[in-house]
Structure 1
Amino acid sequence: MSAVNDTKLKSIKFLLTGLPSHRDTHLWISIPFCFMYVISITGNSVILFIVKTDPSLHEPMYIFLSMLAVTDLGLSITTIPTILGIYLFNSREISLDACLAQVFFIHLLQYIESSVLLLMAFDRFIAIHNPLRYAFILTPPRIAKMGLVAVLRAMVLILPLPFLLKRFQYCRANVLSHSYCLFQEVMKMACSDITVNSIYGLFTKLFQMGLDSMLIFLSYVMILKTVLSIASHKECLRALNTCVSHLCALLLFYTPEISLSKSSPFLQILLGYISLLVPPLINPIVYSLKSKHLRAKIIRMFIK
């Protein structure tokens, strides 16, 4: 009986969809996705290479930026192949195991990115509130420990998800509305009671992204409090200017997530693409434009 069940589980297939369109337009739709993929991989790889090879960039802000770049690279590599598979090769089928692996990595990387954005908010608070002790507080070993805690917390929360989904029987059409597998969508395909999964999914979301967003908000309240106490208007603007890149990254990450639950099906698909594909594309561009030091290094690398 167990062997029969294992065979059934292995034979389960999900159908990925995405933006509603005719087959003859798929090639045109794939062009922007290819463009985003190439720019995301190239942009984040360039940032990682420059930060690693240039000792002058071995500062807390750039180390956190490297963490963000690694996470964004992971998200691009995890999601884009199945998207391009649909629009370039009309390959819509995905096995249960491959789908569960994608669920694990997408949600793991999203939760790690949420933690990295929190660490970057803490970095900006220390830099503005206590600039003289900034390098002493955020030492490389301490940053490494903070990064490890962020990864472990996300891992502990996300690891049960594939196992919770694997125990289900799937007896529906198994047609997913996105071009990749997400926990909530796969869960809804089950013909079993999903109460435990729903509660756990909500708990992880609140404990990770809910808590992180609240702590980020508190960090910025403290930053504003510190900035407003600065007598010089010029110094005040300079301090706030160091937060612009991080604020852009926060808006790109959290805005689609907040809007997803209150949208039409088409808008949900579109916001799903934006939440997973746009941050890896835009983050390296924004940070390169806003950081004079990093921008100069990138220009010098390509001129050589």
Structure 2
Amino acid sequence: MRMGNEPINFAIDDYTNHFLAAYPVHCEYRTIPLGQEQQLLHSHNGYEIYLVLQGTGTYIVGDRLYPLHAGSLTIIHPNVIHRPFHGHCKEFPRYVLSIDQSYLDQLHTICKLSDLSIPRLLAELHPDSSHYFLSTQQLDRVQTIFAELTNCLTVRDRSYELAVLKHIADLFLFSFGLQNENTTTLTTGDQYLVGDVLSYLIAHYQEPLHIEDLVQRFPVSRSQLFTLFKETTGTTIKQFLIEYRLNKAKRLLMETDIAISEVSAAVGFGDMSHFFHVFKKETGLTPKQYRVEAFRRNIKSN
């Protein structure tokens, strides 16, 4: 059975982009189940820093699958595809911090003598993301930073921007200090397997992929693979591939002027008519119309 012919929904996170356009730092404490908040692979323009306080789940970030537990801290870079999944938790307390890259670039210009560049330091750790599992003491410390940052962004007294700057500096100093400490994540054998499958799918998303290829490559039966992938990530293999390919297609349509037929081939759809049908069904626009609208939004924002 060939994978990738099942139309599903897709989103670029305009919710986060909207807040970052208004102010470059946005922080929220959330408890609602993830299924009610964001069910799709998505990306946005800023960094996302995700702190879990209770519950368990997984996080697809780029080509990686991270376990989520109380004390997991995940730093996701701009425009990296990601999707959290909370399993069957009724509540999932967490802080979600979004920071526009321009804000961090401006900090770089302030720190002239030390040539401090937070984006560069983050990229040196990993080009897409970083993930840590905090001790109880570390969790208490970073939770306090998030709580105080959220409060000052809500109250916004006369000196709140200085307070925001202080908390952002405290958070990154804390994060960079984790490199020298034991922050091993709690990953199960099934999560390792699904993570390997996920990495393979992303490495080969431009190719025609078949379930049989995965079953031959990984030590799992067809039915086990379907079950483990859905239970671990909250989505099917077909759904994941469609979401991932559509995300890549949208980026190419927004950021390049290559022909739409080349976009279709470049992201693994192959069949131009199928690409057109899925794209129109899920966005309400043809690929050409989407490109024109993206260009207009970019002109308006600039």
Same fold (TM over 0.5): no
Report the TM-score when normalising by structure 2: 0.26
Structure 1 length normalisation: TM-score? 0.26
Which structure has the higher relative contact order (CA within 8 Å, separation 6+)?
Answer: 1
Structure with more of its chain in strand, by fraction:
2
Structure (1 or 2) with the larger CA radius of gyration: 1
